[in-house]
């Protein structure tokens, strides 16, 4: 179980959307959540394909007791690959929100604190990356993120997948990236506190819930492999 808790699996997900603007090339995303106490392994970094457009950290980069020097170390391991975007998870606040923000800002990480970033193609089409803070203590402000966005293909990053209950079809969010659940972390006879992470094709949006890279409370896993993701987003045409 300790070995399983320290694996370096890279899961590849290919998702197609009719709404994806054809003036953009396919979008290649490295997504990782729930790092917690782990140090990013060179074994994982070596598995990441050369083509990465954006890196998204889906919360719980740290937890109480993790030194901020480890944050710098982990960010440095990713910073030469592609621009990095970050949303807060519930455990990130344990080291002090301003303390973590200072380190991330110094490292060139773009914080998605209830806001949105827009990418524009040569034809004027938009891909919008929205991010909300964690739902704990009602820190999320989806309406602010949506208000900062324009019309276009929308990707929402939320540490907690329960954000799905707060979106509507009218928001026109195509893809949600989340973690938080650890896939149950320890599953006995296939059963766990949460469902195993996977890609969900839901009514209001497609949602990827990751098992996460690290662990919480104890560094053990069973039946919910540690993972990060290489996501290829493309149109159906």
- pLDDT tens track for 134-156: 998 899 999 999 999 889 999 99
Question: How much is the mean pLDDT over the chain?
Answer: 94
Distance of CA 150 to the CA centre of its chain: 21
pLDDT tens digits, one per residue of 163-187: 999 999 999 999 999 999 988 777 7
Q: Is 80 exceeded by the pLDDT of residue 207?
A: yes
Alpha-helical runs (H) found in 139-215: 142-147
**Residue 23 CB contacts under 8 Å (≥ 6 apart), including other chains:** 121, 122, 123, 124, 125
Phi, psi of 172 (to 5 degrees): 55, 45
Q: Is 80 exceeded by the pLDDT of residue 223?
A: no
Question: First-to-last CA distance in the chain?
Answer: 43
Q: What is the pLDDT of residue 32?
A: 98
Structure tokens belonging to residue 87: 């949303």
pLDDT tens digits, one per residue of 30-46: 999 999 999 999 999 99
Band (pLDDT 50/70/90 cuts) for residue 99 is very high
Band (pLDDT 50/70/90 cuts) for residue 105 is very high
Structure tokens belonging to residue 90: 């519930």
Higher pLDDT, 81 or 195: 81
Q: What is the DSSP secondary-structure string of 141-152? A: -HHHHHHT--SS
CA–CA separation, 74 vs 53, rounded Å?
A: 18
Sign of CA dihedral 74, 75, 79, 85: positive
Q: What is the pLDDT of residue 195?
A: 82
Which range of residues forms the domain containing residue 173? Answer: 4-235
Band (pLDDT 50/70/90 cuts) for residue 118 is very high
Higher pLDDT, 4 or 111: 111
Mean pLDDT (whole number) for 48-77: 97
Q: Is 75 helix (H, G, I), strand (E, B) or coil?
A: helix
- Per the listing, tokens 């054809």 go with 22
Q: What is the pLDDT of residue 57?
A: 98
**Residue 143 CB contacts under 8 Å (≥ 6 apart), including other chains:** none
Q: What is the pLDDT of residue 11?
A: 97
Q: What is the pLDDT of residue 204?
A: 97
Q: What is the pLDDT of residue 1?
A: 79
Q: How many domains does the chain have?
A: 1
Higher pLDDT, 37 or 189: 37
- CATH number for the domain including 203? 3.60.21.10
């Amino acid at each position: 179980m300790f070995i399983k808790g320290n694996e370096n699996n890279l899961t590849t997900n290919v998702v197609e959307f009719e709404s994806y603007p054809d003036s953009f090339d396919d979008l290649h995303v490295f997504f990782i959540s729930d790092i917690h106490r782990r140090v990013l392994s060179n074994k994982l970094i070596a598995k990441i394909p050369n083509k990465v457009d954006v890196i998204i950290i889906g919360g719980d980069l740290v937890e109480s007791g993790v030194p901020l020097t480890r944050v710098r170390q982990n960010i440095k391991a990713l910073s030469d690959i592609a621009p990095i975007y970050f949303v807060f998870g519930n455990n990130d606040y344990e080291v002090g929100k301003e303390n973590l923000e200072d380190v991330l800002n110094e490292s060139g990480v773009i914080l998605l604190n209830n806001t949105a970033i827009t990418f524009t193609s040569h034809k004027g089409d938009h891909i919008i990356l929205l991010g909300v803070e964690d739902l704990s203590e009602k820190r999320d402000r989806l309406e602010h993120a949506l208000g900062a966005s324009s019309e276009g293909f929308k990707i929402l990053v939320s540490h907690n997948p329960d954000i799905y209950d707060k979106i509507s079809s009218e928001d026109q969010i195509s893809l949600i990236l989340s973690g938080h659940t650890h896939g149950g972390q320890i599953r006995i006879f296939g059963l766990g506190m949460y469902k195993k992470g996977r890609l969900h094709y839901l009514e209001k949006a497609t949602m990827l819930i990751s098992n996460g890279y690290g662990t919480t409370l104890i560094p053990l896993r069973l039946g919910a492999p540690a993972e990060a993701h290489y996501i290829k987003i493309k149109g159906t045409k």
